[in-house]
């Protein structure tokens, strides 16, 4: 199988989507004869090339993080460019990987529905969506997520052999669907103890901490 892959994370090669794709594609290539080509949608000047790659693909896989129950702007822009392929005979099957910082899979279900509808409108056979939450710290400590990464490897391996997403494996990887009452209480307790430390570190790393309470759109008149 020849797989054409699009990484829709604005972080590109430094993204959690890249880490997850590395595992999935390693499993995919475990089947002799399988190969893939990987494109990064944050390379905005290559959009025309991306559309051509989609049109010529045998099978397409798009991976992106969840942004406000939807997707990053670069993915939306790519979708709009695919309008020229709408209804075209022979459009490739399409599968998705969506990862997010939210622990519960339910946060990604709305964008999952969007992709299913998009596939129908474009005329690409919908292969399904692999969802995994709680991935925000992944790039900082991959060892803690080894079980999750192993799950993506096995999914990729099975996909490489069958050309389909294994429903049982997809369902297992997505757990939990919702946060239990106990888990919610634990999260609230941890948040009270740790405060905004995690996000403050991010702000400081990006030299934005001093502007964390900025209100640029407030009418000061």
- Determine the Cα–Cα distance for residues 171 and 178; give it in Å rounded to an integer: 13
Shared domain check, 55 and 144: yes
pLDDT of residue 194: 64
Residue with tokens 């407030």: 218
The pLDDT value given to residue 195: 62
Pair 116, 132 in one domain: yes
Q: Are residues 204 and 129 in the same domain?
A: no
23 and 53 share one domain? yes
Indicate if 119 and 203 belong to the same structural domain: no
**Residue range of the domain that includes 63:** 2-178
Closest to 53 (Cα-Cα) out of 39, 42, 43: 39
Residue 156's contacts (CB-CB under 8 Å, 6 or more residues apart) are: 23, 24, 25, 26, 27, 28, 30
Which CATH number do you get for residue 116?
Answer: 3.40.50.360
162 and 218 assigned to the same domain: no
At 199 the pLDDT is: 74
pLDDT of the residue at 218: 79
Collect the ranges in the chain with pLDDT lower than 50.
none
pLDDT digits (tens, 9 = 90+) for 74-114: 999 999 999 999 989 999 999 999 999 998 999 999 999 99
Q: Are residues 205 and 156 in the same domain?
A: no
Interval 126-148: pLDDT, tens: 999 999 999 988 887 777 889 99
Domain count, the chain: 2
Q: Rounded CA gap, 173 and 171, in Å?
A: 6
């Amino acid at each position: 199988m020849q797989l054409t892959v699009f990484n829709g994370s604005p972080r590109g090669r430094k993204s959690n989507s890249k880490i997850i794709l590395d595992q999935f594609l390693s499993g995919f290539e475990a089947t002799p004869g399988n190969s893939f080509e990987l494109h990064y949608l944050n390379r905005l000047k290559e959009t025309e090339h991306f559309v051509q790659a989609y049109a010529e693909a045998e099978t397409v896989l798009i991976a992106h993080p969840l942004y406000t129950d939807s997707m990053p702007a670069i993915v939306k822009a790519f979708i709009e460019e695919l309008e020229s392929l709408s209804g075209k005979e022979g459009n490739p099957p399409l599968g998705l990987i969506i990862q997010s910082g939210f622990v519960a899979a339910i946060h990604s279900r709305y964008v999952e529905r969007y992709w299913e509808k998009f596939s129908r409108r474009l005329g690409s056979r919908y292969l399904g969506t692999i969802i995994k939450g709680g991935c925000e710290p992944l790039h900082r400590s991959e060892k803690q997520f080894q079980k999750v990464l192993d799950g993506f490897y096995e999914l990729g391996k099975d996909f490489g052999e069958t050309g389909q997403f294994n429903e049982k494996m997809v369902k297992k990887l997505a757990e939990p669907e919702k946060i239990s009452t106990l888990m919610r209480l634990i999260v609230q307790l941890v948040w009270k103890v740790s405060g905004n430390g995690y996000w403050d570190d991010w702000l400081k790393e990006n030299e934005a901490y001093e502007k964390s309470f900025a209100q640029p759109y407030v009418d000061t008149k």
